[in-house]
Amino acid sequence: MDGYALNARASAAAMRANDDGGATRRWEFEIVDDEASRAGPAKATRDDEGREFGAMECAYVTTGAVLPRGCDCVVPEEACEVVREGSGRARADSSDVVSGKWTRAVGSDVRGRGEVLIAKGERLSAYDVGVLKYARDVVETYEPPRVRVLSTGDELAASASDVAVRGCVVDTNGPMLEALCGEESAEVISRDIVRDDEAATRAAFEMAVADASCDALITSGGASVGDRDFVKQTIEGLGGKIYFRRLAMKPGKPTMFATIPRATGPPLLVFALPGNPVSAAVTFTLIVAPCIRALGGVRESGLRRIHCVLDETLRLDPERAEYHRVTLDWTRGNLPVARSTGAQISSRLLSMRNADALIELPRGPGVVEKGAIASALLISDVRHAKGANMEKIQWPKKSRGDESRRSNEALDSIVTVLDAEGSVRDLKRVVGLEEDARRHCRAAGDCVDALNKLRMYSDGDSTHVAVTDAQSPGLRRGIATTLERLRVVTPIGDVITKRAYARVGLVGNPSDAYGGKCVAFTISNFFAEASLRRTPSSKRVTFAPGPYDGNAFDSFDALSTHVSQHGVDGGVRLLKSLCCNLMRYCESTKQRIDTSCGFEMSYTSNIPKQTGLSGSSAIVIAAMRCLLEMYRINISLDDQTELALRVERDVGINAGPMDRVAQVYEGAVFMDFTKPRASTACGWRIHGEYTRVETDELPPLYLVWAKDNESESSRIHADVRRRWDAGDADVATSMSRLASLADDVFKAMATRQINVEELKTSIDTNFDIRRALFGDQALGALNVTLVSVCRERAGCAAKFAGSGGACVVVCENDDRARALKEACDAHGFEVERVVVRK
């Protein structure tokens, strides 16, 4: 800063001594021209023989100059008024006379001697180059990895102008892979196309092997099992070793990694990627890029991981884990919101163009619902994204062991433990075995902080392959010890996943409080799913937040609505209560469980909220099934229903037994609450007698519901319960009639003699009795409209599936089903055919 340097401490004291108590004022400072200082080498005598400035003295200085002795402040030139030139005076405001203002201490850019400016193994940015000049003129860097890129296929043309005949396509993989290598600071020696010809393929491979400067060969296409795919046999013909050639992931199943030996020096690394462009891009990002970084000396070679909220429902693949391309919006809450980039077919490269991350979807049936929290790997630079929170990004753990060396020790990035015979298809990842290997490694005193990508896979009987990015001999010993243990101990599956399905009340009075009877069933359309991952190395118990555990809301009203629907803790409160109640049950039945192994539990649900389909109890029962399997607890179905009921009542949910009975027993169940009894195991009160019935003879059933239709069971039942307790005859008669309807339907189902018209009459009568008993005000206008539309506009029989929010509808033929669909569409209602659980 160009301006006038002065001694602020001494001058401020002098100004206070002469202050007349007025407001901020301008003061005059004597200019000492002989002590002016300009940027450049300082005067040799300045620090030793120059005069020391006192109060109310100043000297002109320029930006970067050494301050005169005693000066600790600079007042900008534009803030000063020079009264007289040449041994004159300068005026400045008292507010500008502040010690340290517009000055920089020597060495203030760093904390002090010994501070690490750039750590070994960090990738250098343009700014890092400038920072390094603080300490060194020359630094040693790793050589960039050198790779060859090879596209295979008779159909490939080098450019669009070469696509002259039908059946040819432009080679997009080659240029894309070359550019991706460039982003990883690798040097691409060559990029070629080879036809589907064995001799031509072998010649291209031999050229790469002969080039001692080539670290890796990256191919696309030709690695599958077709009669024109020659990559595998070429590698084997050159004496190479294939570590794997199939991956249980989507996209990228036909991915291969191999090494080919050379006469001298390290072997050639071969990454054979799929031919579909998206598959090639994803497998490069997940597998090749981290290896290139390791070859280039990058210490933290793994991808960064975040948690995000799904903005839409994503369907799972039943066979393979999927890496789903998404964009991230960081402005909508505590976590970024992930939205799919569109159709995920492996040929659609546009799905990668704007992708910020790859959502890690597990394999399995069903879907991951909108609003669920998912794990994702970042594939774009989000540092400048609007609203991005860098604290939410999980960086790979830093290694404190030996640094990477520029050699072919990158081979340790893939370690074959047992002979995989070139295949890892149909193998499941076993996280528990990974923890075992780490534990053995720690016991050996080896550093394991670098193990940010240890993966172990099993077919259920023996482990075939382990993959890691660490170069740790101790880890190898740990893996070997783990495998030795597995030879004599059958491995236990690491992750337990269970479901409980939505409940639909078909007919009757579901409340035990009124001595009711009912028929209810579970449906496959909607479910809650709980997952429990054992953590053998720790006793720690962790609950992951789910779709009902929001921490960021669009408004205060949205927060209030959420709390009224899900409570202050959402779904996690149910999991906590479940664990405590289950522990009490085990104590009362004298069942000892081993709590030395901790676990992580999470849940998700696609059951529409506030529709009376028993979403909260489904979460409880799914989680309960996980715990029962983990601890091998002996508990009857009846006690399970009572346990689930106690869990919900503990957290303030006004629950009755029907939902839990239906979801525990599954399928269709007739419940007679006039016959309560005691549990033979723990003495709990079992609320009734329960009988499973077949549903094969039922006509087509549909579910109709309205979005944002809040139906609270406790509010609906409050007045009727008060009247029942007071001995109201109308209530007693109505409850008896509802029970009789359930008896009739049960007998028809049990004898397989269902008359559709009689069933429709029973269902309509069921609703009419409840409507007269509870009143439209208690039921809610929208709930009444739901039933009216189904009955009057579509000509179907309909009643509430629970206390309100959704209707179960009988459509005996396709004409009625079409009429129902048209009527619901006109009113904006959702409609779906019911799939009854068997």
Quote the CA–CA distance of 377 and 581 in Å, as a whole number. 37
Quote the CA–CA distance of 745 and 752 in Å, as a whole number. 10
CATH number for the domain including 313?
A: 2.40.340.10
Q: How many CB atoms lie within 10 A of CB 609?
A: 18
Distance of CA 190 to the CA centre of its chain: 38
- The reply to whether 461 and 520 lie within a common domain is no
Residues labelled as active-site residues: 659
- The reply to whether 530 and 662 lie within a common domain is yes
What is the reported pLDDT for 562?
A: 59
Taking a C-beta distance cutoff of 8 angstroms, is the pair 457, 246 a contact?
Answer: no
pLDDT at 488 over 60: no
What is the reported pLDDT for 146?
A: 97
CATH number for the domain including 77?
A: 2.170.190.11
- What residue type is assigned to position 576 of the chain? K
Nearest to 817 by CA among 802, 800, 837, 797: 797
Cβ contacts of residue 272 below 8 Å, gap of 6+?
219, 222, 223, 231, 232, 235, 245, 255, 256, 257, 258
- How far is the CA of 662 from the CAs of 316, 471, 507, 622, in angstroms? 27, 54, 13, 13
- The reply to whether 778 and 650 lie within a common domain is no
In a domain, 404, yes or no: no
Quote the CA–CA distance of 617 and 200 in Å, as a whole number. 63
Put residue 135 in one of left, alpha, beta given phi > 0 → left and psi -120 to 50 → alpha.
alpha
In a domain, 203, yes or no: yes
- The reply to whether 825 and 802 lie within a common domain is yes
Which residue in this structure is represented by tokens 């664990």? Answer: 579
Phi, psi of 366 (to 5 degrees): 80, -150
Is the CA virtual torsion 475, 480, 486, 489 positive or negative? negative
Instruction: Work out whether strand 463-467 and strand 414-415 pair parallel, antiparallel, or are unpaired.
Output: antiparallel
What is the residue range of 808's domain? 701-833
Q: Which tens digit of pLDDT belongs to each residue from 497-529?
A: 899 999 999 999 877 678 789 999 999 888 888
pLDDT at 491 over 80: no
Q: Answer with the residue of higher pLDDT: 405 or 386.
A: 386
HEC-encoded secondary structure of 406-422: CCHHHHHHEECCCCCCC
pLDDT at 821 over 60: yes
DSSP state of 537: T
Taking a C-beta distance cutoff of 8 angstroms, is the pair 330, 393 a contact?
Answer: no
Is the CA virtual torsion 748, 751, 755, 756 positive or negative? positive
Quote the CA–CA distance of 788 and 199 in Å, as a whole number. 75
pLDDT at 213 over 90: yes
In a domain, 770, yes or no: yes
Strands of 171-215, DSSP E: 187-194
Q: What share of the chain is helix, strand, coil (3-state, %, to 5)?
A: 35, 25, 45
Taking a C-beta distance cutoff of 8 angstroms, is the pair 711, 701 a contact?
Answer: no
Query: Burial, 679: exposed, middle or buried (Cβ in 10 Å; 0-12, 13-18, 19+)?
Result: middle
Q: Answer with the residue of higher pLDDT: 772 or 426.
A: 772
Structure tokens at 579: 């664990």
pLDDT band with cut points at 50, 70 and 90 for residue 318 = confident
pLDDT at 326 over 60: yes
- The reply to whether 166 and 181 lie within a common domain is yes
Q: Range with the lowest mean pLDDT among 116-120, 408-412, 833-837?
A: 408-412
Among residues 392, 419, 454, the one where a domain terminates is 392
Q: Answer with the residue of higher pLDDT: 384 or 738.
A: 738
In a domain, 127, yes or no: no
Structure tokens at 56: 């109310």
Rg (CA), the chain: 37
Nearest to 315 by CA among 368, 270, 272, 370: 368
Rounded to the nearest integer, the mean pLDDT of the chain is 82
Q: Which tens digit of pLDDT belongs to each residue from 214-234?
A: 999 999 998 777 777 899 999
In a domain, 402, yes or no: no
- The reply to whether 312 and 415 lie within a common domain is no
pLDDT band with cut points at 50, 70 and 90 for residue 766 = very high
In a domain, 361, yes or no: yes
Count of structural domains within the chain:
6
Give the CA diameter of the chain. Answer: 117
Q: Which tens digit of pLDDT belongs to each residue from 244-276?
A: 988 989 999 999 999 999 999 999 999 999 999
Which residue in this structure is represented by tokens 């001494």? Answer: 10
pLDDT at 544 over 60: yes
Nearest to 196 by CA among 179, 214, 219, 217: 219
Q: Which tens digit of pLDDT belongs to each residue from 674-721?
A: 998 988 888 898 989 999 999 988 999 999 998 766 655 556 677 888
- The reply to whether 664 and 619 lie within a common domain is yes
- The reply to whether 509 and 614 lie within a common domain is yes
Among residues 693, 728, 759, the one where a domain terminates is 693
Give the DSSP H or E segment for 93: strand 89-93
pLDDT at 492 over 80: no
- The reply to whether 669 and 565 lie within a common domain is yes
Q: Is 806 helix (H, G, I), strand (E, B) or coil?
A: strand
Quote the CA–CA distance of 418 and 241 in Å, as a whole number. 13
CATH number for the domain including 735?
A: 3.30.70.890
Average pLDDT score over residue span 795-811: 92
- The reply to whether 545 and 611 lie within a common domain is yes
pLDDT at 76 over 90: yes
CATH number for the domain including 178?
A: 3.40.980.10
Among residues 295, 315, 330, the one where a domain terminates is 295
Cβ contacts of residue 210 below 8 Å, gap of 6+?
none
Taking a C-beta distance cutoff of 8 angstroms, is the pair 522, 501 a contact?
Answer: yes
Residues paired with 279 in a beta bridge: none
Q: Which tens digit of pLDDT belongs to each residue from 606-619?
A: 888 778 888 889 99
In a domain, 838, yes or no: no
- The reply to whether 519 and 666 lie within a common domain is yes
Q: Range with the lowest mean pLDDT among 143-147, 332-336, 577-581?
A: 332-336
pLDDT at 447 over 60: no
pTM score = 0.47
In a domain, 110, yes or no: no
- The reply to whether 208 and 330 lie within a common domain is no
pLDDT at 420 over 60: no
Q: Which tens digit of pLDDT belongs to each residue from 449-480?
A: 434 445 555 544 444 456 554 556 666 666 66
pLDDT band with cut points at 50, 70 and 90 for residue 643 = very high
CATH number for the domain including 633?
A: 3.30.230.10
Quote the CA–CA distance of 832 and 750 in Å, as a whole number. 26
